């Protein structure tokens, strides 16, 4: 299995923010948080601070898979899937 890098996580979050139409760093945008040797996807809350989208801290590979699943779900909901 291929090693997942921090750069791949950052790129995936960038695509996720583009998909929801919110600029990075703005309320509602997604950000990465690294701690305890793991990674977490968070969203910037409008009243300040960040709220966790994923539970706990996960490996880069697990988090990348979750981000891909979220992106797929958003695309599916918007009718943008590539399988049609």
| Sheet of strand 50-52, all strands in order from the earlier edge strand to the far edge | 30-35, 38-44, 50-52
Please report which confidence band the pLDDT of residue 82 belongs to, taking 50, 70 and 90 as the band edges: low
Q: Is the pLDDT confidence value at 83 over 60?
A: no
Q: What is the pLDDT of residue 63?
A: 97
Which run of H or E residues covers position 35?
A: strand 30-35
- Helix and strand numbers, DSSP H then E, in the chain: 2, 3
Exposed/middle/buried for 44, CB within 10 Å: 0-12, 13-18, 19+?
middle
Q: What is the pLDDT of residue 81?
A: 65
22-66 tens-digit pLDDT: 999 999 999 999 998 999 999 999 998 999 998 899 999 999 999
Helix, strand or coil, per DSSP, at residue 76: helix
Alpha helices in the chain, H assignment, sequence order: 6-20, 60-78
């Amino acid at each position: 299995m291929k090693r997942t890098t921090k750069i791949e996580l950052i790129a995936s979050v960038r695509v996720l923010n583009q998909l929801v139409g919110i600029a990075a760093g703005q309320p509602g945008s997604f950000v990465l948080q690294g701690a305890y040797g793991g990674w977490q996807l968070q969203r910037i809350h409008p009243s300040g601070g960040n709220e966790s989208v994923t539970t706990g801290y996960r490996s880069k590979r697990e988090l990348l898979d979750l981000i891909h699943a979220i992106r797929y779900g958003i695309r599916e909901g918007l009718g943008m899937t590539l399988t049609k």
